């Protein structure tokens, strides 16, 4: 049964507000694939007639779903289904590969840059190494189901992962390589996150639609011995990515 034929599904006597029920119907239509990402949903008027709910109630449901990120509007054009967001759990140290796989997508990378560089003062300080000592710089475009999601630039002391650049970094997980080739087990990370505008190159690489912001994430990851192993500057698409944390 389609979303426009669900009038009977609204429970007018029960305790659940009608707008919540409308949200649940739309959520179910999205989850079930009846409404696909970037598909235009029926107008407020159509939904109001079909579901027998006031336009104000429909509007409340759509406004909430828009601010929650499951719908988006195009001015003058209507309301559309947003793409499902990918969640990064913040209380556990995970790799991009793990995050993407656990959401049912296929992770991949395109190596944009890989080189050995002398550590700048800032890098040397972050990674607790001598300025001028070699660092590996690895810049990758990260993809989920072949669609660009993030640009990650990782810096690692070359001394802890000699020969890393000789390994295939386009298909493997960096964290897996560190564990299997160098016995490096990453234990903790400090991460800062801020909203920002992408620059022109980031917009092009991430194939960002106009006006979509990005999340800039800096991460310093340390080993189980407490040694800093990786300093990362990452840029994630703001429309595809969600950070999740559980507070107690």
| 231 is an interface residue for ligand 16G by CB under 6 A | no
Q: Considering only residues 43, 95, 114, 242, which one is a binding residue for ligand 16G as defined by CB under 6 A?
A: 95
| 154 is an interface residue for ligand 16G by CB under 6 A | yes
User: Based on CB atoms, which residue is closest to ligand 16G, 66 or 97?
Assistant: 97
CB of 140 to ligand 16G, least distance (A): 7
CB of 97 to ligand 16G, least distance (A): 3
CB of 248 to ligand 16G, least distance (A): 23
Residue 126, token pair as written in the block: 């972050």
| 96 is an interface residue for ligand 16G by CB under 6 A | yes
Helices 18-31 and 55-68 cross at an angle (nearest 10°) of 50
| 97 is an interface residue for ligand 16G by CB under 6 A | yes
User: Based on CB atoms, which residue is closest to ligand 16G, 65 or 234?
Assistant: 234
Options 22-30, 73-81, 155-163, 215-223: segment touching ligand 16G (CB under 6 A)? 215-223
| 181 is an interface residue for ligand 16G by CB under 6 A | no
CB of 213 to ligand 16G, least distance (A): 16
Residue 126's φ and ψ, nearest 5 degrees, are: -60, -40
The Cα–Cα gap between 228 and 225 comes to 9
| 80 is an interface residue for ligand 16G by CB under 6 A | no
The Cα–Cα gap between 114 and 13 comes to 63
**Could you write out the DSSP letters of every residue in the chain?**
--GGG-GGG--SSSSS-HHHHHHHHHHHHHHTTSS-TTPBPPPHHHHHHHHT--HHHHHHHHHHHHHHTSEEEETTTEEEEPPPPEEEESSS---HHHHHHHTT--EEEEEEEEEEEEPPHHHHHHTT--TTSEEEEEEEEEEETTEEEEEEEEEEEGGGSTTGGGS-TTTS-HHHHHHHHH---EEEEEEEEEEE---HHHHHHTTPPTT--EEEEEEEEEETTS-EEEEEEEEEETTTEEEE----
CB of 182 to ligand 16G, least distance (A): 13
CB of 237 to ligand 16G, least distance (A): 13
User: Based on CB atoms, which residue is closest to ligand 16G, 66 or 173?
Assistant: 173
User: Count residues contacting ligand 16G (CB under 6 A)?
Assistant: 15
Options 19-27, 41-49, 168-176, 198-206: segment touching ligand 16G (CB under 6 A)? 168-176
Site for ligand 16G, rule CB under 6 A: 95-97, 152, 154, 173-176, 217, 219, 221, 230, 232, 234
């Amino acid at each position: 049964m389609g979303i426009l034929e669900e009038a009977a599904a609204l429970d007018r006597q029960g305790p659940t507000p009608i707008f919540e029920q409308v949200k649940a119907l739309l959520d179910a239509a999205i989850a079930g694939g009846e409404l696909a990402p970037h598909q235009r949903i029926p107008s407020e008027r159509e939904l109001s007639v079909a579901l027998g709910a006031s336009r104000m109630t429909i509007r409340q449901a759509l406004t909430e779903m828009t601010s929650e990120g499951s719908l988006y509007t195009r001015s003058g054009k209507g309301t559309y289904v947003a793409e499902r967001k990918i969640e990064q759990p913040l209380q556990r140290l995970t790799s991009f590969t793990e995050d993407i796989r656990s959401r049912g997508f296929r992770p991949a990378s395109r190596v944009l840059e890989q080189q050995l560089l002398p550590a700048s003062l800032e890098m040397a300080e972050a990674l607790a190494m001598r300025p001028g000592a070699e660092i590996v710089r690895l810049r990758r475009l990260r993809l989920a189901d072949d669609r660009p999601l993030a640009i990650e630039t990782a810096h690692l002391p070359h001394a802890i992962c000699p020969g890393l650049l000789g390994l295939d970094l386009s298909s493997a997980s960096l964290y897996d390589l560190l564990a299997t080739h160098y016995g490096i087990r990453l234990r903790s990370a400090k991460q800062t996150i801020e909203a920002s505008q992408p620059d022109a190159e980031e917009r092009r690489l991430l194939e960002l639609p106009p006006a979509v912001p990005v999340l800039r994430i800096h991460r310093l990851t340390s080993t189980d011995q407490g040694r800093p192993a990786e300093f990362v500057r990452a840029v994630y698409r703001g429309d595809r990515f969600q950070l999740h944390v559980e507070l107690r």
